[in-house]
Amino acid sequence: MTRRFCGTRRFPQTSESPSLTISIRANFSTGLHVVFYSLLKSSPIGDLLLAADETGLRSIQFLPAPPTSQRSVLPADGEFNDKALSDAREQLQAYFQRRLRSFQLPLAPVGTQFQSAVWNALQQVPWGHTASYSQIASAVGNPRACRAVGLANGRNPIPIIIPCHRIIGSSQRLVGYAGGLHRKRTLLAIEGQTQLFDLDKWT
């Protein structure tokens, strides 16, 4: 049985951040899905392996080095299908070229209720802004859960699109990033601004 959860407080919209329409639901389903893959090569943060099923984009994986072949990065039961992931590829390329600030894609990350709530909150941080772990913890209704928020942030399976790179320490230091701080710096540089967003304006 699939358990679902959705709902998060929202940022006020800014001129830099068109309204987001994605709402992530916790998914504990263990049913089998046909998963398709696509390799996005030579992005500003290296090669990316995208995965999706019939419900939406499931993951984006940073590859540590250019693969020797496409098959070398594909799970044994995986199948390449660039057409199935064409929208995700095009939107990512537009983002890297600073032509896109808000993704409009169906997302299907698998996680707990708390992780899903955190991932929803991450999507409310506008392009060109940052927020702290403590601010995200408050946004999901548990101000003391900074460490748990950090763990959920690190387990985000769809980086870039669910923008965990916009979360920084309360001292405005970059702190950790699952893809490496060099990638976090690059993504923030693409977005131009890194000012701390005022979460007191949440409604």
The residues assigned a catalytic role are: 164
Q: State how far the alpha carbon of 154 is from the alpha carbons of 47, 72, 81, 163, in Å.
A: 19, 25, 27, 11
Other beta carbons within 10 angstroms of residue 185's beta carbon come to 15
Using CA atoms, how far apart are residues 118 and 122, in angstroms rounded to an integer? Answer: 6
Using CA atoms, how far apart are residues 153 and 165, in angstroms rounded to an integer? Answer: 9
Q: Is 190 exposed, middle or buried (0-12, 13-18, 19+ CB in 10 A)?
A: middle
Using CA atoms, how far apart are residues 100 and 108, in angstroms rounded to an integer? Answer: 21
Closest to 89 in 3D by CA, of 18, 34, 164, 39: 39
Q: Given the DSSP bridges, would you call strands 36-43 and 46-53 parallel, antiparallel or unpaired?
A: antiparallel
